[in-house]
Each structure stands twice: as C-alpha cells, then as structure tokens.
Amino acid sequence: MDSPYRAELEVLHPLIRAASTLSEHIITTTLAPSPSSATGIVQKADHSPVTIADFAIQALLSSTVRTQFPSDAIVGEESAAQLREDASLLDKVVTALTWLAEQEGVEEAVTIPRDAEAICTIVDECGSSIPSAERRTWIFDPIDGTKTYMQGKLYAINAALVVDGEQAVGMVGCPKLNPKQASPVGDGDISSEGCVVFAVKGHGAWVQRLGKGNEPERLERHGQDLGLDDVRFTSCTTVSSSVPQLNANLLSRLNIASSNDLLPWVLRWISLALNMANTTVWVYKSLDRRGKVWDHAGAMLIFEETGGVVSDVNGKKVSVVGSRIMEGNFGFVAAPGGLHAKVLEQVWVVMREMGHEGLLGA
C-alpha cells in the first residue's frame, strides 16, 4: 500500500505478528488447559478479567512504538498497578516477553522489553495518557475480548494511530479469525490460521493471512445502493450494557432472522469491514455508559475505509480524542453509507416505541 504512513505500517506489521505469536503462546501454555483456575488472571475494578497477555502485549506494543516514534503519545487500556502489587504476576509477564525475544523470526523493528521496572513504567504511561488532537497518539487494546481469549475463542489485538484528532491508521490482529468465515459468526468460530486487517485513512482497507510473506488483499467497498431489506447485523448477546431487547426488537422490525454474535467490540468492526455483516447498533441502557477509545479507534476506521459510516445514536460523528472514555458520544450506529440514515431512523423509532426516547440527545 502506498500511503503517507508507510513507515508506520512497516513497524505495525511485524509488531502485530509478534503480538499474535505471544498471545497464542500464553493461552496455550500459561492459561491452558483450565483458564478459570490458572494463575496469571486478575480482576479489574469493573470486574472484567485481565491476563498476563494483556500486560505483556501492551508493553510490547508501546515499547516498540516508543522506540520507533519517540515523540508520539501512547494510550492503552491497562495500568501497571496490579503488576506492582503482585511480584509473581509481573514475573510471568517478564517470562512471557523473554520467551518472545528468544524466538526466531521476530523482526528488528520490534522492541521487546524485559526489565520489570521498564515494563511497569511504559504500561503505566499508557494507562494514564489521554488521546490528544494536538499530538500524534497511538491507542492500543492489547487483548480485546479477554473473556473469550481465556476460553480459547475469538479475540483481537488493536492498534490505532490518531493524527490531528482523526483516526489515520488502524491495524487489528485476529489470531483465530478466518477472514472468509461464513455468517453468522460467533465467538467460538475459530480458525487455525488468523489474519491481520488494516487501513489508512483515504487509502482503503486490506486483509492478509497472519504470518510473514502473505500478500495483502484490498477489501472491496460495501454497496451504497442498499435498503433495509439488505441489513445484515452484528452485535453481542453476552454483555448487559445495552438496552435490553432493543436489538432484538430492531431485528424483528427489519425481519432479520439471525445476527453475528461477537463479544469483542474490535471484532464487530472487523466483521463489518470483512462483509460478514454490514450493520451494528449499540444503545447503552444508561446515560452514564460510554465507549472506551481502545475498543473502537482504528477498527472503526477500517470499516469506514470499506464504505461504512459510523455515528453515535444521535447521528453525531464519533470522536476518539479528549478523553479515554468517549464522553462526547452515546452508543453506536454503523452501516454502509447508503444505508446508515435509514438504520438510524429505525433505531429512533424502536427506542421511542420502547419508551427510551429519554436516551436520545445525550
């Protein structure tokens, strides 16, 4: 791909491959065969799980970017508080990264930290930084879908570059996703050979099989002349942050019999880009719920570069700067450009029918 971000892509490709190798090594050794009872898993304040892989991969991604692009800001999901409190957990992270450093084929562009204090310092920097419109900012989700990752199911590794407040580059490693997977797609639809999906703003989106030497294929843009009969949906039924029954009522209204069911948000965006579906809707059940930048930045861009339009529930453009939590936007509505306004209108109709008009205008 010829683009103004060729240097960034040349770093990201080997970096995402290395991160995917590391994540699969950890799940097949440290966390298997019984993730529920394995050491190396802790709970965050919101009761979501975090593993050795989350910490190790965030350290890997951020250390590499800091080496290659030292003036850029770095933002990531995790902080190092639990690493500093648990010497055994930190030791497992160091051991995992040391293992990666000893593997053949890890390219020179990848920086692998092995000093415990350096790991904690850079993870903490990611965990406290805020994406800015005034500074080039990288945003990382080291393991999107930690719950499904621990179960040996689908997950993603997300890296985004934001420039002048806009998503400029997105690259997602999908170590277990077959890019040709037939719909409907669920968390358990795993493949022995994964893929990498990436995009540069204004230069299209691409997919390639995971592994060095595979050639990327350009993703086609979604058709723009679509009606509501053409909606193919992706969502998630296993988390409870959305308005109960709203998506089911929307599907019923549109006469849609089935939907992709994916827990990782990043993979929902990727399923849209890969044309496994073309529409997603998420209306939080409470006004105090908002998206988190690492679940969406970059991955949204990949869908947009295939002809998708992404807004919040009120039709506002989604911003990924100014806060770690997407405070200026409420929920998500995404569909191909020619379909988005029609879907958004139907979302409003269903919300009003269900008595949730109070969530509009948030």
- Sorted by where each starts, the structural domains of the chain and their CATH numbers stand as 6-218 (3.30.540.10), 228-359 (3.40.190.80)
- Alpha-carbon distance 285 to 185, whole Å? 25
Compute the mean pLDDT over every residue in the chain, rounded to the nearest whole number: 94
DSSP labels, 239-259: ---BPTTHHHHHHHHTT---E
Count CB-CB contacts under 10 A for residue 321: 22
**How do 195-200 and 217-218 pair as beta strands?**
unpaired
- SS3 assignment, position 130: coil
Give per-residue pLDDT as tens, 148-179. Answer: 999 999 999 999 999 999 999 999 999 999 99
pLDDT, residue 2, reads: 78
Can you give the pTM of this predicted structure?
Answer: 0.95
Count of CA atoms in the C-beta half-sphere (13 A) of 266: 33
pLDDT at residue 38 is higher than 80:
no
3-state helix, strand, coil in the chain (%, to 5): 35, 20, 45
Q: Is 295 a known ligand-binding residue?
A: yes
pLDDT at residue 77 is higher than 90:
yes
pLDDT, residue 41, reads: 74
Q: Which of 37-41, 178-182, 349-353 has the lowest mean pLDDT?
A: 37-41
Nearest alpha-carbon partner for 226 in 341, 350, 345: 341
Q: State what percent of residues in the chain have pLDDT above 90.
A: 88
Confidence bin at 3 (pLDDT 50/70/90) = confident
Listed in order, strand segments (DSSP E) in 284-338 are 308-311, 332-336
| AA identity, residue 229 | D
Both structure tokens of 193 = 């050979």
pLDDT, residue 47, reads: 45
Cβ pair 161, 321 in contact under 8 A: no
pLDDT, residue 206, reads: 98
Q: How far is CA 326 from CA 9, 265, 318, in A?
A: 26, 14, 8
Give per-residue pLDDT as tens, 115-125. Answer: 999 999 999 99
* Residue whose structure tokens are 């508080």: 81
Strand ranges of the sheet holding 217-218, from the earlier edge strand across to the other edge = 73-76, 137-144, 156-163, 166-174, 195-200, 205-209, 217-218
pLDDT, residue 45, reads: 56
> What does R_g of the chain's alpha carbons equal in angstroms?
19
Both structure tokens of 334 = 């995404």
Count of CA atoms in the C-beta half-sphere (13 A) of 23: 36
pLDDT, residue 294, reads: 98
Question: What's the rounded mean pLDDT across residues 305-311?
Answer: 98
Give per-residue pLDDT as tens, 48-63. Answer: 568 999 999 999 999 9
Confidence bin at 296 (pLDDT 50/70/90) = very high
**How do 156-163 and 166-174 pair as beta strands?**
antiparallel
Confidence bin at 201 (pLDDT 50/70/90) = very high
pLDDT at residue 268 is higher than 70:
yes
Q: Which of 22-36, 105-119, 131-145 has the lowest mean pLDDT?
A: 22-36
Q: Is 189 a known ligand-binding residue?
A: no
pLDDT, residue 177, reads: 98
Q: Is 143 a known ligand-binding residue?
A: yes
Question: What's the rounded mean pLDDT across residues 271-293?
Answer: 97
Q: Is 115 a known ligand-binding residue?
A: no
Q: Is 190 a known ligand-binding residue?
A: no
pLDDT, residue 39, reads: 56
